[in-house]
Amino acid sequence: MTAPYITAALLTMLIAMPTAAQAATSCSATMTNVAFGASDPFTGWSGVSATINYQCNTSGITALQTIKLMLCFSIGSGTQGTSSILPRRMTSGSNELQFNLYQNAAHSVVWPDTPATVNQVSLQYTAPLLGGSGSGSITVYGNVNSSQNTVIPGSYSNNFSGVDAQMQYRGSVGTLFPPSFPASCTSGGSFSGTGSFPFVASAIVEASCHPVFSVQNVSFGTQGVLSANIDTTAIIAPQCTNTTPYQIGLDNGQNANGNTRRMHNGAGKYVSYELYRNAARSQRWGDTLNSDTLAGIGTGSAQAQSIYARTAPQTTPPQGSYSDTVTVTIYY
């Protein structure tokens, strides 16, 4: 006879708990434009700054993670640039304006075009049960190179995107204990990624003439009887932007009688004289645009223009010092 027995079924169950592996982290960045605005090569452009804003997000079921990241931001030469960043450039057609981007306000450390620890930033945040995020910003400083007097007026720009405005990052994740930061933005950690932060660098070169230019005085020297022509010359040296048309006007001075220029001794006596645009002294130099002014086209450098002066024979006034003041105007 078989002894009675009781059997029981043991149900074994495995409840799958969510793990940190279900979480994912990604980073993105944006940058404001580098806008220098309008100026001319004689005045120059003030330094400007732009901001890279970056944010990293961890989504999914994170189980109270701590995330530590190293991020780097490299800037290349741009679509309108060359293979070099020394210097970077903006273009207007075939013309270029040199500038550069820096990591410091003193404009002494050029922003690199490859990931480097010198422009590396760290970011740490926690991700509670359903995710989390962290963010920050970094400043980019811009400066237009000086001594570009021959640059041609126009609207200049350079577009930066893709590898020319690239973010690279690496991250570490810890669930029970905070992890270590990755060794750099290109090594270490448990995950990595890239992103881009497109922006535009721009500047306007205005047509202009330097407000300060060289003007020589006209001197007839010491003379006796004014019975023959006395000729002399002087130089005006305007400096106008490359390809910019300009005209130089001379007014009639402070003592003119109609269109006859005169020097005065301060006691009611005069010596008449004239100023001309040509060596033959047949083209009077006046101040009426497109009529009796001297026309030129700027090169960016100072351009010497001769004033041809003459006192014609006339009744000799009493001896003394005679002078006049003529205003020079540059129109462009």
pLDDT at position 250 is 98
The CATH-assigned architecture of domain 21-205 is Sandwich (2.60)
What number of other Cβ atoms are within 10 A of residue 129's Cβ?
11
Say what the pLDDT of residue 176 is.
79
pLDDT of residue 11: 36
Rg of the chain's alpha carbons, rounded to an integer?
37
Structure tokens at 219: 């001197």
DSSP 267-278: SS-EEEEEEESS
pLDDT at 7: 34
Topology of domain 214-331, per CATH? Immunoglobulin-like (2.60.40)
Cα distance between residue 16 and residue 202, in whole Å? 56
The per-residue b/e assignment along 164-188, b for 16 or more CB within 10 angstroms, e otherwise, is bbbbbbbbbbbeeeebebbebbbee
- pLDDT at res. 22: 59
Residue 123: per-residue pLDDT: 98
> pLDDT by residue for the chain (332 residues), tens digit each?
344 433 333 333 333 334 444 589 999 999 999 999 999 999 999 999 999 999 999 998 878 899 999 999 999 999 999 999 999 999 999 999 999 999 999 999 999 999 887 789 999 999 988 899 999 999 999 999 999 999 999 999 999 999 999 999 999 999 878 899 999 999 999 999 999 999 999 999 999 999 999 999 999 999 999 999 999 999 999 999 999 999 999 999 999 999 999 999 999 999 999 999 999 999 999 999 999 999 999 999 999 999 999 999 999 999 999 999 999 999 99
Which residues, in sequence order, are bridge partners of residue 127?
65
Domain ranges (residues) in the chain? 21-205, 214-331
Q: In the numeric block, which tokens belong to residue 328? A: 């020079």
Residues 6+ apart with CB under 8 A from 329: 248, 249, 250, 251, 287
Are 21-205 and 214-331 equal in CATH topology? yes
pLDDT tens track for 258-284: 999 999 999 999 999 999 999 999 999
Position 8 scores a pLDDT of 36
No. of helices (H) and no. of strands (E), the chain: 0, 20
3-state secondary structure of 4: coil
